[in-house]
Amino acid sequence: MALVNRLARNPALDLELEVCERFADSRAWISRHVLTKQPPGSIILMDRWYPSEAAFRRMVPFAKILQLNIERNVRTPDLHVGVVTAPDISWARAAARPRGLSSTVIHKLEDHVACTKAFEREIADHGWFLCRNEGMIEDVTMQVISEIYRVLGYP
């Protein structure tokens, strides 16, 4: 986290690349030491897998971040779910939390809008499942369950 904070205070390509490499290293560790120990047929939900985290990077291209993970044999999910909320709604939700807007990466609504658009573009370009999160939690849950069933081949 100290490296991420350093990057937030002094943005630089070499620091951002180092953050991406460290995240990829930690995902590789999870792939080798955690995911391999899960029972066969398990559904594993992970937050901030590399596609969503990569959308917040400004200098290292998205494709480079994916490549860092591939090079380290980070396990690719069977289903990528890109959960996206309209930036204005997401910003308002974050501001309403007890800790408020506490991001070390995003400080302005305009940056949040740009990151959201970049993430949506990558979801579309890679054919990942886009889940909109502006409505009720039950609606979002059903969207994800339906997509899991689709991937598993259920009618």
Three-state secondary structure readout of 103-129: CCCCCCHHHHHHHHHHHHHHHHHHCCE
Number of helical (H) and strand (E) elements in the chain, helices listed first? 7, 2
> Which residues is 84 bridged to in the sheet?
132
pLDDT number for residue 141: 92
pLDDT at 47: 62
* pLDDT score at 88: 93
Contacts of 84 (CB under 8 A, 6+ apart): 116, 119, 120, 123, 130, 131, 132, 133
Q: What pLDDT score does 68 carry? A: 92
CA atoms of 98 and 117, how far apart (whole Å): 26
Query: What DSSP string runs through 2-25?
Result: HHHHHHHHS--HHHHHHHHHHHHH
Half-sphere exposure of 114 (CA within 13 A, CB side): 10
**pTM score, whole prediction:** 0.76
Cβ atoms within 10 Å, residue 57: 20
pLDDT value, residue 76: 82
Give me the residue spans of the domains in the chain: 1-72, 78-155
- Residue 119: the pLDDT is 86
Q: What does the DSSP 8-state code read for residue 85?
A: -
Give, for all 155 residues of the chain, the pLDDT tens digit. 788 778 778 888 998 899 889 889 988 999 999 999 999 888 777 765 655 566 567 788 888 988 998 999 988 888 888 888 999 998 998 888 888 776 666 778 888 898 889 889 988 998 889 999 888 999 999 999 999 999 888 87
Task: Give residues with Cβ within 8 angstroms of 144, minimum separation 6.
Answer: 81, 131
